[in-house]
Amino acid sequence: MEYRKLGNTDIKLSAITFGAWAIGGWMWGGADKKDALEAIAASYDYGVTSIDTAAIYGQGRSEEIVGEALRSLPRNKVQVLTKFGMRWDEKKGMLDFKSTDNAGHPIDIYRYAGKESVIKECEDSLRRLGTDYIDLYQLHWPDLTTPVSETMEALNILLKQGKIRAAGVCNYSAEQMIEAEKTIDLASNQVPYSMVERSIEEELVPYCYNNNKSILAYSPLQGGLLTGKIRPDHKFAPGDHRAATSFFKPENIRRTDILLDRLKPYANLKGAFLSQLVIRWTIEQPGITIALVGARNKEQAIQNALAINVQLSKREIELLDKELDRLVLVNDAVPA
């Protein structure tokens, strides 16, 4: 495994980090706790020392599972990343969307990051995780109802108290990061990035690269789309959020599959799975510090971790990029 420095902190994260959204079950059509625990343990055995979760994932369930897994791991060798600012248990801030919990009960999700809420959420996460500190605490989404300075002041308090080791944001623009930096020294920004979602390359990547801020890339496999295992007639389980996204409309799946067919020879040449080639490409991109990859079971976790063994030359990356340039997805998923 490779380990990379988080921003200007002394924290090092595994280049491939375990993404724990799916194991919380929520919006992923369910999950098995036993499989999840085995997946985290296997990841660690293969060098994946960093785990990224969030309070909202399963409304605490993901953090609880991660906390259970931590009891069997050396805490000082594991980096726990979690998030705050999406409340399902209090109606404050801005209503983001309506959903259902794992039991099928309706819930409203609010973006809220007022100072008292941030501090309370941290305490709740520490309890669920069964730890006395969080390595990286991240604002999950921008909260337009709370001054940025107020949220960042709360993070500064938690830093001084030693309850968090570093502070970060998610889904922030470069402009929003600049505003936050007036109050706090951010370590990172966690944003979506994949072979088919590269919008951050225009502004955010240059800003983070030039200011020593880490970019944590989530959805590098685009929710499984880039594994090559999903076909246009794929049936998603009830509650799986992917069915409603444009990437998974039949026409875009078909177009992506054509791209993946062109990438398979590169993976075969490396003796690697297609997903491993995609993961390795992601962490080779300028400005990308780590890739967060989810796994529901031990087998998936090991396969993800072994992506680190795929070596790509500069020339090979250029050839892959040329293949990517040929892909054009459509917003309405209607053949053009």
Residues with active-site annotation: 57
- Nearest Cα to 218, choosing from 248, 247, 193? 193
**If you search the block for the tokens 């062109």, which residue do you land on?**
262
Give the pairing of strands 136-139 and 79-84. Answer: parallel
Tokens for 268, please give them: 């075969």
Taking the CA atoms of the chain, what radius of gyration do you get in angstroms?
19
b/e map of 227-236 (b: 16 or more CB within 10 Å)? Answer: bbebeeeeee
Give the pairing of strands 106-111 and 86-87. Answer: antiparallel
Sign of CA dihedral 239, 276, 83, 1: positive
**Rounded to whole angstroms, how far apart are CA atoms 4 and 136?**
14
According to DSSP, residue 249 is labeled: S
**Rounded to whole angstroms, how far apart are CA atoms 40 and 79?**
13
Structural contact between residues 206 and 293, judged by C-beta atoms closer than 8 angstroms: no
CA atoms within 13 A on the CB side of 310: 29
Other beta carbons within 10 angstroms of residue 105's beta carbon come to: 8
- Nearest Cα to 217, choosing from 266, 276, 170? 170
Instruction: Report the amino acid identity of residue 166.
Output: A
Cβ-based neighbours of 209, under 8 Å, separated by 6 or more? 286, 287
**Rounded to whole angstroms, how far apart are CA atoms 226 and 256?**
8
**Rounded to whole angstroms, how far apart are CA atoms 24 and 63?**
8
